[in-house]
A and B are shown apart, each in its own frame.
Chain A
Amino acid sequence: MITDFEKALATLTAGGVEFILIGGVAGALHGSSFLTQDLDIVYARNTQNIRRLASALRAHQPYLRGAPEGLPFTWDERTIANGLNFTLTTGFGDLVLLGEATGGGRYEDLLPHSSVVTGFGVSFRLLDLDKLIVLKRAAGRPKDLAVIAELQRILETRKPRQS
């Protein structure tokens, strides 16, 4: 199922969660024609933010995506603190929470490469196009190659030509 992106971002924003939007949705917001299904974010790993993240998502019943039903999985601060990256399914769709992104590092590392998007009652940080391409390339997945090629073309249209 395609995640309800607006609801997911509204949930995180309302919960005061510090995060940066990355992945396919970030690419689509930068103009990519590729439509993705899940929402990928990098979240800050400080104690307060882990508490906010646990609280914000609790009502949406996060569970490990692709895992068999009935596993003893509890969504709380301890689970987040003991883990790092989580691939979740929730009431509003699929959500990938990264404490650290390959090729980009942690929230604090990516913060200077992000900008704030505000509107329609939500405000969130979006990873800049340059860094998004770096992350996609670092992931090294063949399926991303077409997306990367398109993102590079978008980047070329934005930057002044070198003469």
Chain B
Amino acid sequence: MDSDELLDGAACGDLGPTAEAFDPVLEVFKRDLDFSLVEKNLRLSTDQRAQQLVNATRFLSRFRPLVAQPAREP
């Protein structure tokens, strides 16, 4: 695709899908979503969500180095 084609697309108003546009691939992914997890997040304040991220990040930064990782041979 060259720049002329990009301009043509924009000129036709083809700016890509809207947020809610149907996509069968996304529908397949949605089937596995456990939205009960998200619902709880939505009830939290931004500060509370940030604190949880801090806790999770702290946990991973502390424990990742404890997990043995065999060195790759050259």
Contact = CB atoms under 8 A, between A and B. Distances in A.
Interface of A: 1-2, 4-6, 28-31, 35, 37-38, 65-66, 89, 94, 115, 117-120, 126, 141-144, 157-161
B3 interface: no
Contacts of A160: 72-73
Contact of A31 (B40, B44, B64, B73): B64
Interface residues of B, number: 30
27 contacts: A1-B41, A1-B44, A1-B48, A2-B49, A2-B55, A4-B52, A4-B55, A5-B55, A5-B56, A5-B59, A6-B55, A6-B62, A28-B60, A35-B53, A35-B56, A38-B37, A65-B36, A89-B40, A94-B37, A115-B68, A118-B66, A120-B62, A126-B67, A141-B32, A142-B28, A158-B69, A160-B72
Nearest to A156: B72
Given A35-B56, A94-B37, A158 B62 contact: no
B63 interface: yes
B62 A119 contact: yes
With most chain A CB atoms within 10 A of its CB, the pick from B40, B41, B49, B68 is B40
Interface of B: 28-29, 31-34, 36-37, 40-41, 44, 48-49, 52-53, 55-56, 58-60, 62-64, 66-70, 72-73
Contacts of B33: 143
Nearest to A67: B36
Contact of A158 (B41, B60, B72): B72
Contacts of A159: 70, 72
Contacts of B31: 142
A8 B1 CA distance: 52
B36 A66 contact: yes
Given A29-B60, A142-B31, 7 more contacts: A2-B52, A5-B59, A94-B37, A143-B32, A144-B32, A159-B70, A160-B73
